[in-house]
Amino acid sequence: MYCEGPRRRRATRHIVSGLLAVGLLSWLAAPAAATFHLMQIEQVIGGVCGQVGQQAIQLRMRSSFQNLVAGTRLVARDAAGNNPVILITFPGNVSNSAGGARILSTTSAFTAAGSGPTPDFTLTNPIPASYLLAGKLTFEDSFGGIYWGLAWGGAGYTGTNTGTLDNDADGNFNPPFGEPLDWTTGRALRFPGSSTAASTNNAADYVLTAAEATFTSNDGSTGSVAECLFGDGFETNGLHAWDFVSPP
Render 12-72 in DSSP notation, one character per residue: HHHHHHHHHHHHHHHHHHHHHHSSS-SEEEEEEES-BTTBTT--EEEEEESSSS----TT-
Identify the burial level of 200 via C-beta atoms within 10 angstroms of its C-beta, where 0-12 means exposed, 13-18 middle and 19 or more buried. middle
222 phi and psi, to 5 degrees? -125, 160
- What's residue 248's pLDDT? 64
pLDDT at residue 133 tops 60: yes
Q: CATH number of the domain at 38-248, please?
A: 2.60.40.1260
For residues 130-143, average pLDDT: 97
pLDDT-based confidence at 227, cuts 50/70/90?
confident
pLDDT-based confidence at 228, cuts 50/70/90?
confident
pLDDT-based confidence at 31, cuts 50/70/90?
very low
- What's residue 233's pLDDT? 45
Q: Rounded to an integer, what distance in angstroms lies between the CA atom of residue 146 and that of residue 139?
A: 6
- Dihedral, CA of residue 222, residue 102, residue 203 and residue 45, to nearest 10: 50
96 or 7, which is more confident: 96
- What's residue 115's pLDDT? 87
- Which residue in 194, 223, 192, 196 sits closest to 210, CA to CA? 192
Chain-wide mean pLDDT for the chain? 86
Pinpoint the residues of the chain covered by CATH 2.60.40.1260.
38-248
> Of 25-39, 51-65, 79-93, 216-230, where does mean pLDDT reach its minimum?
25-39
